[in-house]
Amino acid sequence: MHCAIFCNIIDNFGDIGVCWRLARQLAVEYQLNVSLFVNDLSSFAILAPQLQPELAIQPLDQITVHHWHPDVYFDQPYDLIIEGFGCRLEDQLIDQMQQQAITGQPPLWINLEYMSAEPWVMDCHGMVSIHPATGLKQTFWFPSTTKQSGGLIREQCLLGERDQFQQDSQQQAEFWHGLDLSNAMQFSRKISLFSYENNAIADLLTALAEDSIATLLLVPKSRSIPDIELWLQSHLQLHKTLQIGDQISYQNLTIAVLPFLSHLQYDQLLWACDLNFIRGEDSCVRAQWAGKPFIWHIYPQEENAHLIKLQAWMDQVKQQVKNEYLADYAAWQTAMQAWNGNTPSNPKLWQQLLTDLAEWSNLLSDWSGFLTAQPDLARRLMQWVEQHQLE
């Protein structure tokens, strides 16, 4: 079976992160012949360093990667076409799909949407749109956290690899050594910080520095770095542009700047930390599979539309929370709102977060277990494909 996935990289790595994971899973677990069409190969190469951006077509991890540009054509008929996050296919591609349909082999056409837990999403998942010029059918696929949705990406081996990693101190030591952080396991607490620009970062750093527990804060090189630099200027009078490999200590806080991590490395970072601050969609899904406490910085949108999405997702979590965790959920919700700028932030709030980490761990481990009991996105998608092939 031949599958084409289209991805338009805009300004972050969430879109390509999701499409790249899905492409590999469909190829490895379901033996699909997958072609991944990407508009910006240079950005993709940051996530997949073995990629050669100057090549128009190249193999990569059982996938055929194509440079997607306005004049591109399909190189073969495709049985399944996945349009990532509303990116629009050119007219010549639509014409090729129509010609394929005329021969009696119409492609199955999916519009993969962004993850959302808003109630309307469950009603719209699986809805069909008819292309006005060709009559081709496009089905809308909404990833989310309920059985009525399109599910979340989860490789079959993921949770087993997570459990093995967390139980194997040698594997953890090798991970830290690979990041030139052989001293990481000496810290009583490890926290990852992957965030957009955020005014609450300063309050968090102050709380960590003043806390009684020595903390290693692991910061992949990203848009949060300038906020950290400002805090260091204020507290250490350190006027420095942070570079990958830097380690800076102040009171009980050590900040380590990491390079951009591969998918596997980032999963392992989430598994190895006691608390994860994550951003965007792909990182949010991976943090949920880690089963560790986390705070999500949702992608900011105009008119604060993102806050509605954040609350809808948190409402989904609350519906599954056991009564014994309701107080922990309320504290977690307060921290989540403060991190996303919807309520005031202060160091005392983050100090309380650190105190409550053990309780949060139980809450979010339970939530991860609820999601694990559901079929993952690729499995649901392939079940849908099989049903439509029989029609």
What is the number of domains present in the chain? 2
- For 91-120, the pLDDT digits (tens) are 999 999 999 999 988 999 999 999 999 999
For residues 229 and 268, membership in a common domain is answered with: yes
Residues 10 and 78 placed together within one structural domain of the fold: yes
pLDDT class of 90 with cuts at 50, 70, 90: very high
Q: Domain check: are 278 and 204 in the same one?
A: yes
Q: Which of 15, 211, 267, 282 is catalytic?
A: 15
Whether residue 193 sits in one domain with residue 93: no
- 144 and 183 both lie in a single domain: no
Residues 91 and 113 in one domain: yes
Active-site option among 211, 281, 282, 376: 281
Q: Tens of pLDDT along 116-136?
A: 999 999 999 999 999 999 999
Give the structural domain span for 237: 158-372
- Residue 280 banded pLDDT, cuts 50, 70, 90: confident
The residue type found at 289 is W
Output the pLDDT for position 302: 84
The confidence score (pLDDT) of residue 255 equals 98
The answer on 182 and 162 residing in a single domain is yes
Same domain, 185 and 252: yes
Asked whether residue 21 falls in the same domain as residue 143, the answer is: yes
Query: pLDDT tens digits for 25-47?
Result: 999 999 999 999 999 999 999 88
Give the number of other CB atoms < 10 A from CB of residue 6: 23
CATH number for the domain that contains residue 7: 3.40.50
Q: Is pLDDT at 146 greater than 70 in this prediction?
A: yes
Judgement on whether residues 164 and 311 belong to the same structural domain of the protein: yes
Q: CATH no. for residue 198?
A: 3.40.50.2000
Residue 281: active-site member: yes
Give yes or no: residues 174 and 72 share one domain.
no
Is residue 161 part of the annotated active site? The answer reads: no
- What's the confidence (pLDDT) of residue 345? 94
| Distance in angstroms (rounded) separating the CA atoms of residues 336 and 377 | 26
For residue range 282-323, list pLDDT tens digits in order: 999 999 999 999 999 998 888 888 899 999 999 999 998 888
Q: Are residues 344 and 360 in the same domain?
A: yes
Q: What's the pTM?
A: 0.94
